[in-house]
Chain A
Amino acid sequence: MQSSSTNNKNSKAQQARRRFLQKLGLLGAAADSYTLLELQAKTTASAASGDKRWGLLIDTSKCASGCDACVRGCNTEHGIDASDSDLTRAQWIRKIDLKDKLTGKESSLPVMCQHCDSAPCVDVCPTGASFKRADGVVLVNKHTCIGCRYCMMACPYKARSFIHENLTEQKPSAPRGKGTVESCTLCVHRIDSEQDMQPACAVACTDEAHSAIVFGDLNDPDSNISRQLQSAGGSQIRSDLQLNTGVRYHGL
């Protein structure tokens, strides 16, 4: 099931683990009298691989104005409370309704982190907490985020939220807390864990029978998303900035 390259990654991770254990052995006082229980066997998931590039294709012709299923799906998945002020609450996805200046054509679409290839937020982050994973997902490492909000200044899409209040009752799978910046993670906790898991927004959209959000590997020419991009095309928001976004829009 796994491609050879992910196996490669896997064994690399295991090597790293072995090194780590060696280090532990050196460091730990009398560590040889202890054993970590079969640690080697426990690497169950492989590291994010550079062979993949996760992305979304959003078909605006299928996206309905007034429908915010994706937003709700995202909020539920990550335990985001949508009842606070629009100004200060986290909005990983927001729905925008548009009207063309020339033709008057109306459209509606969700905007979230566009997972840029050359992401301005990653460039400006002083501590390197904003980073791009090998598989193209742009994340905040909240363990090193100091909450300076420079990335929010830099983001052309206004896709990031700062947590303005103490939070309680977070989901175990989605740690979030005051004083750090966050944004769409493409549901890494889902897509990493299991084959064929989709981000919550895509699932919610499909459940609503719109199927306007397609998730997949942009590097795999046979993936659903790549085939749809091939046939129907997809543009980037603010393509003038040449950020090579991982989120593409059809019918914009």
Chain B
Amino acid sequence: MCPERAFGLWAILWLLLASGLGHASDEGPIIPPASFGDQCVADTEIMRKQHMSLLNHQRDETVIEGVRGNPFSLVGCVNCHAQKDDNGQAIRIDAEGQFCESCHAYAAVKIDCFSCHAALPEEGFGNTHEVIGLNTPVIAPLAAADPAKHFSHQQRQVLQSHRVAAGPHNQLRGNAALKNIISTHTTEHQRPVNSDTR
């Protein structure tokens, strides 16, 4: 990203944050907790700051090179991060106040990913971790019918490796510290749709 643009973004974010636009307090965004797992696919701090470039990278790797089963799958994000309503029905992850939207609304980011990508977890995902006996089913592109069958041995190992001990963080948060993270991380990541595809 060119420095002017980065600076512009930074300034806009700054302004937004300073004014706390659209938010009751300047406590930062209220992010719903993950529905699965005790750990994200990478360190939480990294996820907050770098999820765009991680997603972009994986996106190109999957679509262009056909590499599948890496951790930063958008399907995975939805599986773990989509909430359920009181009836146990999954809620679209891009709905207002939901995981992706909560933070982005705060940071005034708009993403179009879910005009194509499913915003609801994979069918039968709720059972997946029981079937395989894992806490963190990351990638399950084929898991719909019979998830256990579709995971390769290798993939299972990966899934296992996610069970790194980590304290439960799944409380609802109004995280003031996020403000800093959001305002400092923005400079370095690549834009999602363009430039880095070649």
Contact = CB atoms under 8 A, between A and B. Distances in A.
B is a partner of A: yes
Interface of A: 13, 20, 24, 27-29, 31, 34-39, 41-48, 128, 131, 133-135, 137, 139, 141-144, 166-167, 169-173, 175-178, 180, 188-190, 192-194
A144 B67 contact: no
Contacts of A45: 66-70
Contact of A34 (B45, B66, B75, B198): B45
A167 to B, nearest CB: 8
Contacts of A13: 61, 65, 67
Contacts of A173: 75, 122, 141-142, 144
Given A36-B46, A144-B193, A44 B142 contact: no
A14 to B, nearest CB: 10
Interface of B: 39, 41-43, 45-46, 49-50, 53, 57, 59-61, 63-71, 75, 78, 115-118, 120-122, 139, 141-142, 144, 150, 152, 154-155, 157-158, 161-162, 164, 184-185, 188, 192-194, 197-198
Contacts, number: 140
- Name the residue in A37, A38, A46, A173 with the highest tally of chain B Cβ atoms < 10 Å from its Cβ: A37
A29 B49 contact: yes
A47 B184 CA distance: 34
A169 B67 CA distance: 25
A37 B38 CA distance: 13
A20 B66 CA distance: 17
Given A28-B46, A35-B43, A171-B118, A194 B154 contact: no
A139 B39 CA distance: 34
B167 to A, nearest CB: 15
- Name the residue in A24, A142, A169 with the highest tally of chain B Cβ atoms < 10 Å from its Cβ: A24
A28 B50 contact: yes
B92 to A, nearest CB: 10
Given A37-B43, A48-B65, A175 B117 contact: yes
Nearest to A33: B45
A207 to B, nearest CB: 14
A134 B120 CA distance: 31
A43 B67 contact: yes
Given A34-B42, A42-B70, A170-B117, 6 more contacts: A45-B70, A141-B64, A141-B197, A143-B197, A169-B118, A188-B66
B66 A192 contact: yes
B18 to A, nearest CB: 21
* Majority-rule SS of B interface residues: loop
Nearest to B123: A172
A73 B45 CA distance: 42
A55 to B, nearest CB: 16
A128 B67 contact: no
Given A143-B197, A172-B78, A189-B142, A44 B185 contact: no
Contact of B115 (A27, A43, A169, A178): A178
25 contacts: A13-B61, A27-B188, A34-B46, A36-B43, A37-B39, A38-B161, A39-B71, A44-B155, A47-B61, A133-B65, A134-B65, A141-B197, A143-B59, A143-B192, A143-B193, A143-B197, A144-B194, A166-B115, A169-B118, A172-B118, A188-B66, A189-B68, A193-B69, A194-B142, A194-B152
A43 B157 CA distance: 11
A82 B113 CA distance: 24
A108 to B, nearest CB: 29
A192 B69 CA distance: 10
Nearest to B188: A27
